[in-house]
Structure 1
Amino acid sequence: MSVVSLLSVEVKNNPATFNAPYEFEITFECLEQLQKDLEWKLTYVGSATSNEHDQELESLLVGPIPVGVNKFQFNADPPDLSRIPNSEIIGVTVILLSCSYDEREFVRVGYYVNNEYTDEALALEPPAKPVIEKVRRNILAEKPRVTRFAIKWDSEETAPPEFPPDQPEADLVADGDQYGAEEEEEEEAEAEGAAAAEGDDAEMAGGEDTAGPAADDDAASEAGSEEIDIEESEGEDEDEEEVEEEGGDDMEMDDAGPANDDQSRPQQAVPPNADVMVH
């Protein structure tokens, strides 16, 4: 279970101009006294084809962290245009808000960001070099993608079974109070609905095999057809013998026959939004 749970992230200035700073109000809950500070980072993905253009816009240490619900403001500067290819400035990209404890990342929130011209003429015929003063950014704040990682906190008891891992996979089991849990529940419900539909189809497809009387009728029908085939084949054999007598050695017959082959926890009284030292 995570000692720190992200409860909400509110994007304060959205939409905004491309050169405007990023402003977030972050609320999280701490269940135990922590020995070290939390490190929050905001990363701008500059290109969809290479991580060489990713930029760390801001890194912030928050602490000491009191037990309970905490809230603070997180601001970051806009990205450096000289580090982004001109062809990647306009369009859709991603920003990543992450938090680490003792250099171990335990939560990451991803947002899609759409950069577009406010001028209709520029939108129809965008210049080769973007006119940044006319570009507006819009963060899709309603649909964040939240990823959680199991890490070791201050005690060995909190370490995951294979600590220290490379953290290749997210811990997708979220408590109901955690940020982004609703989106994950919707995805799980859709997957369960699809699986149930497949199960119904499979059950209906096997219904013919379980019908007793129908199977008996089919067997009798097959037996009758088999007798007819035998009589016809005998007649054919006689015709074939007559053909052999007339045709002599020029006609050969093939004698070969057919082959057989998200844990809930008790509510605890927590102090009102606590002041957190940001440094």
Structure 2
Amino acid sequence: MSVVTLLGVNVINNPAKFTDKYLFEITFECLEPLEKDLEWKLTYVGSAQSDSHDQELDSLLVGPIPVGVNKFAFEANPPDTSRIPLDELLGVTVVLLTCAYDGREFVRVGYYVNNEYETEELQNAPPAQPIIEKIRRNVLAEKPRVTRFNIKWDSEATAPAEFPPEQPEADLVADEEEYGAEELAEEEAELADEDAEAAAAGGDTAMEGVEGEGVVVDDDELSDDGSVDIEGESDDELEEEEGEAEAVDGDEMEVDKPEPAAPHVAPVR
């Protein structure tokens, strides 16, 4: 169980100019006293092709942390445009808000950010050299992607099975009080609706022609030991059919007449 639970994040100045600072109001709950501070960071993803363009916009140490619900404001500088490829300055990117305790990250909140020109004229015909002061950003604050990690806090009892944890194996399960739980529930509901529609569309086709077919066994077909000849044919009938097959195909190929096989029986289930 996490000692610190993120309850909410509000993006205060949104939308805003590309050159404006980021401002977040963060609410979290602490369940027990902590010996060290919490370290919050905001990272701007400058390119989808390489993490070498990522920028840490700002970091903040928060502490000492009292037990209970806490709230604070986190202000971060805008990204340095000289470190962003020109062809990726506009369009959709991501900012990551993370928090770590004693160097161990335990929560990460990702937001999509859309960068575009303020006027429709510039949007339709963007200049070859970007005009930074005319670009605005819009953080998709309603759809955060929250990832949580199990870490060791102050006591050994809180340490996960493997320490330090492998962060790609994040604990994505959120309860009703955790930030991002509502958005995760909506995504799961949408996937469930899509699966139900697909099953309804293909269900009748898959079962078509199956209903009503089966094998009916009369009581007089049962043998003394309660079993039944599921082939439904006697040895004499089999020999007659084999003889007819030889007569028809005799000009083309020779067929060795097999010894009559014992009838295959199976217990009635």
State the TM bucket, normalised to the shorter chain. Answer: 0.7 to 0.9
- Post-superposition Cα deviations, 1:232-257, rounded to whole Å, max 9, x if no partner, equal 8755644555x5xxxxxxxx626489
Gapped runs of 5+ residues in structure 1? Answer: 244-251, 258-279
Q: Does 1:157 align with 2:157?
A: yes
Query: Compared with structure 1, are the counterparts of its residues 196 and 116 closer, same or farther at alpha carbon in structure 2 (3 Å cutoff)?
Result: closer
Paired residue type of 1:113: V
Q: Is the 1:23–1:73 contact (alpha carbons within 8 Å) kept by the matching residues of 2?
A: yes
Residue 126 of structure 1: how far off its partner (Å) = 1.5
Aligned-partner SS, 2:216: helix
Aligned-partner SS, 2:214: helix
Query: How many angstroms apart in 2 are the aligned matches of 1:66 and 1:111?
Result: 28
Identity of aligned residues (%): 64
In the alignment of these two chains, the number of paired residues is 241
**What is the TM-score of this pair, normalised by structure 1?**
0.75
Higher relative contact order, structure no. (Cα contacts within 8 Å, ≥ 6 residues apart)? 1
Residue 186 of structure 1: how far off its partner (Å) = 2.5
Between 187-196 and 50-59, the greater mean CA deviation after superposition: 187-196
Query: How many angstroms apart in 1 are the aligned matches of 2:116 and 2:240?
Result: 81
Gapped runs of 5+ residues in structure 2? Answer: 218-230, 258-269
**What is the TM-score of this pair, normalised by structure 2?**
0.78
Query: How many angstroms apart in 2 are the aligned matches of 1:126 and 1:233?
Result: 84
Q: Is the 2:8–2:27 contact (alpha carbons within 8 Å) kept by the matching residues of 1?
A: yes
Residue 124 of structure 1: how far off its partner (Å) = 1.2
Q: Does 1:11 align with 2:18?
A: no
Aligned to 2:170: 170
Residue 228 of structure 1: how far off its partner (Å) = 11
Q: Is the 1:114–1:137 contact (alpha carbons within 8 Å) kept by the matching residues of 2?
A: yes
Paired residue type of 1:18: F
Query: How many angstroms apart in 2 are the aligned matches of 1:33 and 1:239?
Result: 94
Q: Which has the higher helix share?
A: 1
Q: Is the 2:246–2:255 contact (alpha carbons within 8 Å) kept by the matching residues of 1?
A: no
Aligned-partner SS, 1:7: strand
Query: How many angstroms apart in 1 are the aligned matches of 2:208 and 2:104?
Result: 51
Aligned-partner SS, 2:47: coil
Q: Is the 1:86–1:128 contact (alpha carbons within 8 Å) kept by the matching residues of 2?
A: no
Query: How many angstroms apart in 2 are the aligned matches of 1:93 and 1:43?
Result: 11
What is the RMSD computed on CA atoms of the aligned residues? 3.5
